[in-house]
Amino acid sequence: MRLEGKVALITGAGSGQGQEAAVLFAVEGARVVVTDVNEEGIKQTLERVKAAGGEAVGRRMDVADAEQVQEGVAYAVRTFGMLNVLYNNAGVYLRGKDGPVTRVDTEIWEMTVNINLKGMYLCCKYAIPEMIKAGGGSIVNTASAAGLIGTNYHAYSASKGGMIALSRSIATTYAPQNIRSNVICPGFIETPMTAEISSSQRLLQAYLDNTPLHRAGKPIDIAYMALYLASDEAAFVTGGVFVVDGGVTAR
C-alpha cells in the first residue's frame, strides 16, 4: 500500500476532491483525519472510508481560524501519534461575487484570500512542527489553473497564485527538515463547487471546447496526483507545480 504507516490530515475533506482523496488515502493505508466546516460532509466521508475498509476520524476545522487549526492539528497527533501528510485542499470560489478588481467587494476579496491562502498558511504553521517531529513529511496544496493564467475572478486567482508562491517558499525553507511541499493546479473538475457550471449545457460546452482532452475532470483525477505527491514515491519531488487540467493551460 502506497501510504502504509502514514497519518494524513486533509482540509475540506467533506466534499468533492478532498472526500475522494480521503477515501483513496485510506485505501492506500493512511490513517486519515477528515476536516471541514461541513459536518454533514465529514460524516459522509467517514462512511465512505469505513465502507472501503479504511481508518479515519473526523473533526470540524475552519482553516481560516487559527485556534481551530491549532486544535485540529493537535487532535490529529493525539489520535494517531504523529502527522506525516498535510493536504491543503479546502477552498472557496465565490461565483457571481468574485470578479475583476474594480468590481469585486473588499469583503469577497478578504473571504476568498482568508480561506484559500491564509488557510494554507495557518495549516502549515501548525502542522510543520509536528511533521518535523515525525522526521519530515509531505504537504500537498491545491491551487488552480486559475493561479497560473489570467481570469476574470481576481480574488480567487490571486489567492491561488499566492498558494503557489507560498508552497515553493515552504519547499525551499523546510527541505533541510525533510518537508516536501508541492502544488496541484486542477482545471475544471466536477464537484459541488462547479455544480452550477456542470448543470448549464452552455457553460459546460464552453469549458469542454477549451479542453484538449474534451471532458471535465473528476475528483479521482486529482486524488491520484495527491496520492503520488503524499507518498514516498515522490521523495525527490518538492517545490513542484503539477497541472491536472486536461490540457487547458497547454493551449
Ligand X SMILES: NC(=O)c1ccc[n+]([C@@H]2O[C@H](COP(=O)([O-])OP(=O)(O)OC[C@H]3O[C@@H](n4cnc5c(N)ncnc54)[C@H](O)[C@@H]3O)[C@@H](O)[C@H]2O)c1
For residue 185, give the nearest of 141, 232, 128 by alpha carbon.
141
Under the binding rule (CB under 6 A), the answer on residue 194 touching ligand X is yes
Among 8, 9, 92, 243, binds ligand X (CB under 6 A): 92
DSSP character string of 5-65: T-EEEETTTTSHHHHHHHHHHHHTT-EEEEEES-HHHHHHHHHHHHHTT-EEEEEE--TT-
User: Between 15 and 44, how does the x/- string for binding to ligand X read (CB under 6 A)?
Assistant: xxxx-----------------xxx--x---
Among 34, 64, 73, 83, binds ligand X (CB under 6 A): 64
- Cβ 212 to ligand X shortest distance, Å: 16
- Which positions are annotated as active-site residues? 156
User: Between 129 and 168, how does the x/- string for binding to ligand X read (CB under 6 A)?
Assistant: -------------x-x------------------------
Instruction: List residues near ligand X by CB under 6 A.
Output: 11-12, 14-18, 36-38, 41, 62-64, 89-93, 115, 142, 144, 186, 188-189, 191-194
